[in-house]
Amino acid sequence: MNITIVDYNSGNISSVINSFNEVVKDKINIEVTSDLDKIKSSDKVVLPGQGSFKSCIDALNKITGLKDILNEFVITNKKPLLGICVGFQMFADVGYEEIETKGLGWISGKVSKINNHNGKFKLPHIGWNQINIVKESKIFQNIENNSHMYFVHSYEFIPKEKNVISATTNYSSNIVCSVEKENIFGTQFHPEKSDKIGLKIIDNFINL
């Protein structure tokens, strides 16, 4: 099996790479690349993302053909993809960080600033928070409900279809922190920074 972590110059992805390598222990080939042919021939893809929605979409669009290959991988070939943090937010139709920016449109919805109730809640939402698993998800196999995950974000993904939501976290409101739609998986939290439980989520994705 080949797993590709897409490197499209969107911040530091070393912790994602390290955590995947820790889980596979050299039994599976982990490729870190933006090479279109390698992504296309992968069995699974991981789409990380750090920074703003706009900066990540811009970085993705700078690599000619990358968006098309990802669309083909996910929508046409229905292969499993895991989006992390902004990588997960980019599934949306549109994001409103900096300026209105078109997303990948894989899961209908928008990315908006978290309502901090006039400063009552600090932004960004940083640190450990409990997740509430709201539907059975393949990546939450053997993960206890109310487990703690690590978050760093000021914007939230609000999907139109509520049936794609697999987990929420409570911070100023019920924030969507995980989705599953057929072969598409995404987490707002950072599994690679969420200790053993985060590694178990990565393991579950690898073993799909």
Q: Point out the catalytic residue in the list 97, 156, 180, 192.
A: 192
Average pLDDT over residues 17-45: 96
Q: Domain range for residue 174?
A: 2-206
d(CA 49, CA 46): 10
Work out how many domains the chain is built from and give that number: 1
Tens of pLDDT, residue by residue over 42-83, are: 999 999 999 999 999 999 999 999 999 999 999 999 999 999
Q: Are 2 and 41 in contact (CB under 8 A)?
A: yes
Instruction: Give residue 11's pLDDT.
Output: 78
Residue type, 126: I
Q: Is the pLDDT of residue 164 over 90?
A: yes
User: What share of the chain in percent tops pLDDT 90?
Assistant: 97
72 is catalytic: no
pTM: 0.97
Contact 171, 114 (CB under 8 A): yes
Q: What is the mean pLDDT of the chain?
A: 97
Specify the pLDDT at position 103.
98
Q: At 151, is the pLDDT very low, low, confident or very high (cuts 50, 70, 90)?
A: very high
The tokens describing 76, both together, are 């046409």
**Stretch 102-113: mean pLDDT, rounded?**
98
Q: Are 141 and 133 in contact (CB under 8 A)?
A: no
143-171 average pLDDT score: 97
Catalytic residue from among 97, 156, 180, 190: 190
Q: Is 190 a catalytic residue?
A: yes
Identify whether the C-beta of residue 101 lies closer than 8 Å to the C-beta of residue 53.
Answer: yes
Q: Tokens 């985060």 belong to which residue? A: 198
Is 134 a residue whose pLDDT tops 90? yes
**Residue 24: band (very low, low, confident or very high) from pLDDT cuts 50, 70, 90:** very high
Catalytic one among 56, 85, 97, 125?
85
Contact 35, 66 (CB under 8 A): no
In which band, very low, low, confident or very high, does the pLDDT at 120 lie, cut at 50, 70 and 90?
very high
**8 A C-beta contact, residue 179 and residue 164:** yes
- Is 85 assigned a catalytic role? yes
The answer, yes or no, to whether residue 93 has pLDDT greater than 90, is: yes
- Which CATH number fits the domain that encloses residue 108? 3.40.50.880
Q: Rounded to whole angstroms, how far apart are CA atoms 120 and 37?
A: 48
Confidence at residue 104, expressed as pLDDT on a 0 to 100 scale: 98
Question: Which tokens go with 145?
Answer: 């409900």
pLDDT of 192: 97
pLDDT in tens, 169-198: 999 999 999 999 999 999 999 999 999 999
What lies within 8 Å, CB to CB, of 31 at 6+ separation is 2, 3, 4, 5, 38, 42
Say if residues 109 and 93 touch (Cβ distance below 8 Å): yes
Q: How many angstroms from the chain centroid is the CA of residue 191? A: 9
| 125: three-class secondary structure by DSSP | strand
Whether 73 and 39 have beta carbons less than 8 Å apart is answered as: yes
Task: DSSP for 77-111, please give it.
Answer: S---EEEETHHHHTTSSEE-SSS-EE---SS-EEE
